[in-house]
Every structure is written in C-alpha cells, then in structure tokens.
C-alpha cells in the first residue's frame, strides 16, 4: 500500500519533503506534481524503479525518460549546452518546456536516445517539485503519469491513489492540476526546433 502525503502546493512542508527524499533514496517510485500534471519519478541510478515505471505505464524499453532538474547548472552536468542554448534555457526556465540536448557521460545509456545520444531535460515551476529536487540534490528520472489508454497526464491525486495504491511507494497530493503538456524544444542543432507545442510559448524559439 502506497503512502499519501498532503503537501501544500505553495508552501511545501520541509518535513514531508524530507520524507519524500527518503522514499526515493530507498529505491522508491513516487507520484509527484509538476506544472503539466502529475508525473512518475525515481532516482537516476535505480534501474529496478525505472522498470517498475515502465510496467505502470506499459512502456517499451525505447521510451525516452526526462531528467527533471532544479536549475540550469544541474542541466549542464547532464547535457552539452552551448552559448545559444544556455541563453534560451536561462530565459525560459523554470517553466512549461522540455529541452532535447546531447547527453553527457553522466547520463546512463539506457536513458538516452540510442541513435542520437540525446536526453530530454526540464526545470519545472511547481513549488513542490522544486523543493523536492533541491532536497534530493540531483535530478529525478521522470515521465508523465499517463495510464494506459489515456491521452493526458493524470490530474487528480485521489484518483491516482486509488489506481496505483499497490504499485507505487508514495503519492504526493499537491492539489488538482492542469493537464496541458510541455512545449518540447530540440536544441541539438544550430537553430532551435519546436518539436511539440504545449503550455510553453514557442515564440522565443522561432
């Protein structure tokens, strides 16, 4: 049976954030809020937790996970960021964007695109997510919580608790959330490419 933590969406309780980090450090899978709906997350090195997430979402081994980071400096540890990309990311984070960048050796091979050696990264604006990342001290390996057969991220934490009670370790209740996906920007070439238009304004990248 999973734990359910009620965490304030604007002023997260440090004690509960610390308990969330303990669950992650023990290899747990958590459901946590982002600015584009709820997501599944685990620590970067936890292969078993990643496999559990794949089973929950019915994903194949080629699924591209996202590294959710607390700030731009953390992104630069896991991806090659040139001057142009740095300025664009700095001016548009935290926010509703996922950036595709060439991965560094810090990224496990199983997480990067096999052909292009790229990784998706983002810095969310959700206060709970940001406090969780700050307390963890490293990125979360993450994917949007879309249950098989659904086209949008889950937004109701109580429904999530009912659906995933025995398959995740923790559900963070951070309120009812919107479901609009992030805007995806490919920054691997000289010019940015808007791959998907979502909640983030694509104009800065066009």
144 neighbors 63 (Cβ within 8 angstroms): no
Neighbouring-strand partners of residue 98: 184
Find the mean pLDDT for residues 157-186: 91
CATH number at residue 75: 3.90.870.10
SS3 5: strand
Q: What is the model's pTM?
A: 0.92
Dihedral pair phi/psi, residue 127, rounded to 5°: -60, -35
Is the predicted pLDDT of residue 42 greater than 80, yes or no? Answer: yes
Number of domains comprising the chain = 1
More confident residue, 20 or 35: 20
Whole-number Å distance between alpha carbons of 197 and 94: 17
Split at pLDDT 50, 70, 90, the class of 61 is: low
Q: Has residue 203 got a pLDDT over 90? A: yes
| Tens digits of residue pLDDT in 119-147 | 999 999 999 999 999 999 999 999 999 88
Q: Which range of residues forms the domain containing residue 162?
A: 3-205
**198 in helix, strand or coil?**
coil
């Amino acid at each position: 049976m999973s734990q359910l933590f009620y965490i304030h969406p604007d002023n997260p309780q440090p004690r509960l954030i610390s308990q969330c980090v303990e669950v992650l450090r023990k290899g747990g899978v958590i459901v946590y809020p982002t600015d584009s709906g709820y997501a599944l997350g685990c620590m970067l090195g936890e292969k078993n937790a990643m496999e559990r997430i794949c089973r929950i979402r019915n994903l194949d081994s080629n699924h591209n996970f996202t590294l959710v980071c607390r700030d731009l400096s953390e992104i630069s540890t896991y991806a090659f960021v040139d001057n142009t990309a740095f300025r664009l990311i700095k001016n548009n984070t935290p926010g509703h964007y996922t950036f595709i960048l060439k991965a560094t050796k810090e990224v496990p091979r199983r997480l990067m695109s096999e052909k292009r050696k790229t990784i998706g990264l983002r810095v969310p604006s959700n206060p709970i997510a940001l406090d969780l990342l700050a307390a963890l001290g490293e990125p979360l390996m993450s994917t949007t919580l879309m249950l098989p057969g659904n086209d949008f991220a889950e937004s109701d934490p109580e429904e999530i608790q009912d659906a995933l009670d025995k398959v995740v370790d923790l559900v963070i209740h951070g309120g009812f959330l919107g479901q609009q996906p992030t805007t995806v920007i490919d920054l691997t070439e000289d010019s940015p490419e808007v791959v998907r238009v979502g909640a983030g304004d694509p104009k800065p990248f066009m």
